[in-house]
Amino acid sequence: MRIGDDAGAIDLGSNGTVCGAGIVVAPSSTGEVVAVVRICRQNEIPIVPQGGRTGLVDGSVSRPGEIVLSLERMNRIERLDPLERVAVVCAGVTLEALQVAALEHGLEPGIDLAARGSATIGGMVSTNAGGVMAFRNGVMRHRVLGLEAVLADGSVYSDLTRVVKNSAGYDLKHLFIGAEGTLGIVTRVVVKLDPSPRATATALFGLPSVEAALQTIRLALESDAGHLRAAEAMWTSYFSLAAAAHGWSEPGVPLNQPLFLLLSLGGAREEALREDFERIYSEVMERYPEATGIIAGSRRQEDDLLRLREDTGVLYRAHPHAPSFDVSVPLSEIPAYLDRILPGLAAIEPGLAPYVFGHLADGNLHIILNRQGPLAPDVAEAAEGVLYQQLREIGGSFSAEHGVGSKRIHSLLATADPTKLAAMERVKRALDDQSIMNPDKVLPSDAWFVRSSRPLLSDNERRLPPQNASDHKR
Amino acid sequence: MRIGDDAGAIDLGSNGTVCGAGIVVAPSSTGEVVAVVRICRQNEIPIVPQGGRTGLVDGSVSRPGEIVLSLERMNRIERLDPLERVAVVCAGVTLEALQVAALEHGLEPGIDLAARGSATIGGMVSTNAGGVMAFRNGVMRHRVLGLEAVLADGSVYSDLTRVVKNSAGYDLKHLFIGAEGTLGIVTRVVVKLDPSPRATATALFGLPSVEAALQTIRLALESDAGHLRAAEAMWTSYFSLAAAAHGWSEPGVPLNQPLFLLLSLGGAREEALREDFERIYSEVMERYPEATGIIAGSRRQEDDLLRLREDTGVLYRAHPHAPSFDVSVPLSEIPAYLDRILPGLAAIEPGLAPYVFGHLADGNLHIILNRQGPLAPDVAEAAEGVLYQQLREIGGSFSAEHGVGSKRIHSLLATADPTKLAAMERVKRALDDQSIMNPDKVLPSDAWFVRSSRPLLSDNERRLPPQNASDHKR
């Protein structure tokens, strides 16, 4: 094991990650991770695992007295079987590296997100990453067939299953998926691959309402020529900012539509996909005569459209450190949700308004406030109150794909089902009794003490506590 | 709550389920389930939950002193939203009832299995059911967006999320999925729905090898005209038995091929799907000139082909109580696996041979031995030794979709990763400290006592213990 030597040198604190730890270890094998964990357990040293450090909720920040365990040297694709359509990768492999390797066999991992170049498979498993294809293929959890993880006692949970059906006892890999390193360190992952389409086509629709967008998505889901790969929505304020920043304009797509919907189809023949978009467009026009649209005629045009949605940096250049939120809203509830949050935010502070965009087909909305961050604590608290109110009760989530980390713990405690919180704590204690695995992430390490001395309020009584974490740049 | 009254009368012991319990309760709401659990907890009475009692591993058998909790009266579809493509159902709704309701909106639950008429959604969640579409849509776990479960302490885990993205803390619903009622009683489920294809087409291929079948599946996965919905394999001995039993014969498909592959495509136009099967067939013929095939020309022909695979009752009529196994094998390992088990079984007893059929695209093989059951204990032990040997180590599973129940506990203990067993026990203790939830299913209730006094053998030393449960009729 190398501790802080040249080969394992780490770029501390990039992406805004706060690295308070004095030591960064970068093991190159599962055995080395075990050795680190054993030393830490013996000495009660908390461990903060790190992948590509692209997380947005401070899940890999560290403090003095902790050590950072970076998986970046464990970056080998160990197996890629085109007939099985399965890859076995070490945790530090980036999504892009896996995408490139799979594409050589006409395959793809079935999950995609903008941080593909630095996000690692281990990190994506630990945060249960989402992205643009989740409405179709599920989130990271649904792409994982097996995994290996090092537990708090130094034992290795080894489940390198390469099949989708395995009912041999509790499927505990799902505990490690999305636990943000608090229950174990994911070291190896078996990822399901799908055939990559031979052709794609992309279209942008300007639409009058969420309902119109959902109807358009349903038409695209039933395409004869291919399958829907992305359904990204951008509401006016975001879209016009992005279009202006990129100098994008199209006569056929005026910028004053309430909602813009970017659809991508994958299939065998590009021409057939474009024809299908024409059919979809004419059906949409029949129902919503005010609809507008454009079908990308070239790869370049397609890339230009995708960039409007993917390059959210334009927002943060306009509003440095702008407060960002990441909610899931059941599709039928989105109109009412937006109708509630717009006046709700404006009532907090004159002019306070959201940029809204996201993965409409699965109800995942990204909401960025038009303010330079961080917000004053009382404004932040009020904004969360507006954005998170009743989200769980209506079947949504205050954290869709970004996780909890340390930044959203107070929101989790304020909004979660008390039975779920209690069960989470029992599971955490069962697997990490010393609380050395990424402590104070997802759950506060004193959660059960807090709970026993200060019982949770009932659903009606609970209110959001003050926010003390500050938003940071994406 | 009604205990054993007329309205809740239960047909005890159907499907061969052993019902030793003196009391069967059939609550009609989550509140009534809570009341039952609280009474049982106070009095330390073990609870055995039951759905449609279609399980194959004695997961719902009960003993004197236990009570059976049947979910069959909780059979309401509470919500079916065509725009969200989501259904919220109570646990006792049958798969078929959900399929019928979804189809009215052009949707389907994306999972299908032969017991659809009696298998309940709650039972399918608790056993993490698989079936024919799992290679494409995943298993039951991947179709569940949210669930409600009553825990051992009478609290209600309420996660009725209707979106696929939810990273608000540990996603503990996955603990209850596949736990066979040992961690909680699933009372309500949110199921993801997909558009149902407007047309289907089905073809049967006679093929020389597993490799040829996997290549054929890959061609079908890349169909231009639709998407693959089923890829079911039947090896010669099963197929000829089924064909004879149903009086099925086709001049174009001689019965002496090593392997038969049934493929179904779904899409917009039946004609396009059939044309695609013709293209696939000609590509297959080019590589494997000995291949044969037939494309169903009518709904009747399609049903006849599907029945050959689905009606496995022909086997049990030929061999009453025949011993059955349900393994997952990574696709690239299937030829070697079959090459090993055929001589392995014959070496146990002259003439001992398997009928093999199953869901080839996901590696799930059903193996039925050509013997009237139950086997003598030494033969059963030797057969398991042959069939389960190294399955986990090569990335497969000794139990693909049937679960563990009480029948396969000894196999789980003999073959599982010791770290996984230890973690399972810790989780069970964390959520059900009195062990009142379906005790002696999945894990023996004295597991941690056994483990502490008699440590598990190392991977190399472990052998299968004698089997004491007898096989029973499907």
Q: Give per-residue pLDDT as tens, B25-49.
A: 999 999 999 999 999 999 999 999 9
Report all structural domains of chain B as residue ranges with CATH numbers, in order of start. 14-70 (3.30.43.10), 76-196+407-474 (3.30.465.10), 199-311 (3.30.70.2190)
* Integer Cα distance of A299 and A307 in angstroms: 12
CB contact under 8 A, A364 and B163: yes
Q: Please give the average per-residue pLDDT across B340-349, as a whole number.
A: 97
CB contact under 8 A, A138 and B164: yes
Q: Quick one: pLDDT at residue B252?
A: 86
Nearest-CB residue to A84 (from B172, B332, B402): B332
Q: Which of A164, A275, A409 is the best substitution to test chain B (most B C-beta atoms within 10 A)? A: A164
CB contact under 8 A, A128 and B171: yes
* A192-203: pLDDT as tens digits: 999 999 999 999
Q: Please give the average per-residue pLDDT across B131-143, as a whole number.
A: 96
CA distance from start to end of chain A: 32
CB contact under 8 A, A420 and B364: no
Nearest-CB residue to B169 (from A127, A396, A404): A404
- Identify all chain B residues contacting A397, using CB atoms and an 8 Å cutoff: 161, 163, 165-168
* A198-240: pLDDT as tens digits: 999 999 999 999 999 999 999 999 888 889 999 999 999 999 9
- Identify all chain A residues contacting B419, using CB atoms and an 8 Å cutoff: 151, 155-158
Do A16 and A56 touch, CB atoms closer than 8 A? no
Nearest-CB residue to B423 (from A157, A194, A214): A157
Residue in the block written with tokens 């919905």: B229
Q: How many CB atoms lie within 10 A of CB A8?
A: 17
Taking the CA of residue B276 and the nearest CA in chain A, the distance in Å comes to: 12
Taking the CA of residue B244 and the nearest CA in chain A, the distance in Å comes to: 31
Average pLDDT score over chain B: 90
Q: Quick one: pLDDT at residue B330?
A: 98
Amino acid at B208: P
Q: Would you place residue A469 in the very low, low, confident or very high pLDDT band (cuts 50, 70, 90)?
A: very low
Q: Would you place residue A447 in the very low, low, confident or very high pLDDT band (cuts 50, 70, 90)?
A: low
Q: Please give the average per-residue pLDDT across A92-111, as a whole number.
A: 98
Is the confidence at residue A275, as pLDDT, over 50?
A: yes
Is the confidence at residue A6, as pLDDT, over 60?
A: no
Q: φ, ψ for residue A450 (rounded to 5)? A: -55, -45
Q: Please give the average per-residue pLDDT across B61-83, as a whole number.
A: 96
* Integer Cα distance of A463 and A437 in angstroms: 29
CB contact under 8 A, A363 and B165: yes
Residue % of chain A over a pLDDT of 70: 90
Residues 6+ apart with CB under 8 A from B108: B99, B102, B193, B194, B195, B196
Nearest-CB residue to A168 (from B146, B221, B416): B416
Is the confidence at residue B293, as pLDDT, over 50?
A: yes
Q: Please give the average per-residue pLDDT across A370-393, as a whole number.
A: 95
CB contact under 8 A, A395 and B178: no
Taking the CA of residue B266 and the nearest CA in chain A, the distance in Å comes to: 10
CB contact under 8 A, B431 and A431: no
Assign B208 to helix, strand or coil. coil
Q: Please give the average per-residue pLDDT across A439-443, as a whole number.
A: 96
| Nearest-Cα residue of chain B relative to residue A210 | B83
Q: Would you place residue B15 in the very low, low, confident or very high pLDDT band (cuts 50, 70, 90)?
A: very low
| Nearest-Cα residue of chain B relative to residue A124 | B167
Residue % of chain A over a pLDDT of 90: 87
Residues 6+ apart with CB under 8 A from B130: A164, A165, A167, B111, B113, B139, B140, B359, B362, B364, B400, B401
Q: Quick one: pLDDT at residue B17?
A: 58
Provide the Cα torsion A436, A441, A442, A446; round to 10°: 60
Q: Quick one: pLDDT at residue B18?
A: 65
Q: How many CB atoms lie within 10 A of CB A450?
A: 13
* A83-93: pLDDT as tens digits: 899 999 999 99
* Integer Cα distance of B377 and B470 in angstroms: 9
| Nearest-Cα residue of chain B relative to residue A110 | B136
Is the confidence at residue B89, as pLDDT, over 50?
A: yes
Nearest-CB residue to B161 (from A139, A214, A397): A397
- Nearest of B392, B416, B259, B229 to residue B335 by alpha carbon: B259
Is the confidence at residue A462, as pLDDT, over 60?
A: no
Consecutive H or E run containing B230: strand B226-235
Assign B224 to helix, strand or coil. coil
Is the confidence at residue A172, as pLDDT, over 90?
A: yes
CB contact under 8 A, B395 and A151: no
Is the confidence at residue B474, as pLDDT, over 80?
A: no
Q: Would you place residue A460 in the very low, low, confident or very high pLDDT band (cuts 50, 70, 90)?
A: very low
Is the confidence at residue A461, as pLDDT, over 50?
A: no
Kind of pairing between the strands at B47-50 and B67-70: parallel
Q: Quick one: pLDDT at residue A252?
A: 86
Nearest-CB residue to B155 (from A397, A419, A430): A419
Q: Please give the average per-residue pLDDT across B78-90, as a whole number.
A: 96
Q: What is the 3-state secondary structure (H, E, C) of chain A?
A: CCECCCCCCCCCCHHHCCECCCEEECCCCHHHHHHHHHHHHHCCCCEEEECCCCCCCCCCCECCCCEEEECCCCCCEEEEECCCCEEEEECCCEHHHHHHHHHCCCEECCCCCCCCCCCEHHHHHHCCCCCCCHHHHCCHHHHEEEEEEECCCCCEEEECCCCCCCCCCCCCHHHHCCCCCCCCEEEEEEEECEECCCEEEEEEEEECCHHHHHHHHHHHHCCCCEEEEEEEEEEHHHHHHHHHHCCCCCCCCCCCCCEEEEEEEEECCHHHHHHHHHHHHHHHHHHCCCCEEEECCCHHHHHHHHHHHHCCHHHHHHCCCCCEEEEECCHHHHHHHHHHHHHHHHHHCCCCCEEEEEEHHHCEEEEEECCCCCCCHHHHHHHHHHHHCCCCCCCCECECCCCCCCCCHHHHHHHCCHHHHHHHHHHHHHHCCCCCECCCCCCCCCHHHHHHHCCCCCCCCCCCCCCCCCCCCC
- Identify all chain A residues contacting B414, using CB atoms and an 8 Å cutoff: none
CB contact under 8 A, A397 and B169: no
* B244-273: pLDDT as tens digits: 999 999 988 999 999 999 999 999 899 999
Q: Please give the average per-residue pLDDT across A344-363, as a whole number.
A: 97
Q: Quick one: pLDDT at residue A271?
A: 94
Q: Would you place residue B445 in the very low, low, confident or very high pLDDT band (cuts 50, 70, 90)?
A: confident
Q: How many CB atoms lie within 10 A of CB A249?
A: 10
Q: Flag the least confident range among B13-22, B212-221, B240-249, B332-341.
A: B13-22
CB contact under 8 A, B151 and A423: yes
Q: Flag the least confident range among A320-334, A434-448, B116-130, B344-358.
A: A434-448
| Nearest-Cα residue of chain A relative to residue B160 | A395
* Integer Cα distance of B432 and B49 in angstroms: 15
Q: Quick one: pLDDT at residue B447?
A: 53
Q: Would you place residue B82 in the very low, low, confident or very high pLDDT band (cuts 50, 70, 90)?
A: very high
Nearest-CB residue to A430 (from B138, B198, B426): B426
Q: Quick one: pLDDT at residue A222?
A: 86
Identify the DSSP state of B209. Answer: -
Q: Quick one: pLDDT at residue A224?
A: 80
* Integer Cα distance of B119 and B130 in angstroms: 12
CB contact under 8 A, B403 and A183: no
What ipTM does this complex have?
0.91
Do B126 and B181 touch, CB atoms closer than 8 A? yes
Is the confidence at residue A468, as pLDDT, over 50?
A: no
CB contact under 8 A, B397 and A127: no
Q: Between A and B, how many residue pairs show a Cβ–Cβ distance under 8 A?
A: 278
* Integer Cα distance of A106 and A418 in angstroms: 46
Assign B204 to helix, strand or coil. strand
CB contact under 8 A, A157 and B421: no
CA dihedral for A268, A274, A275, A281, sign (positive or negative): positive
CB contact under 8 A, B138 and A141: no
Angle between helices B270-287 and B210-221 (to 10 degrees): 140
Is the confidence at residue B13, as pLDDT, over 70?
A: no
Give DSSP secondary structure letters for B340-368.
HHHHHHHHHSTT--EEEEEEGGGTEEEEE
Residues 6+ apart with CB under 8 A from B183: A170, B149, B151, B152, B175, B176, B427, B428, B431, B432, B437
CA distance from start to end of chain B: 32
Nearest-CB residue to A170 (from B179, B362, B399): B179
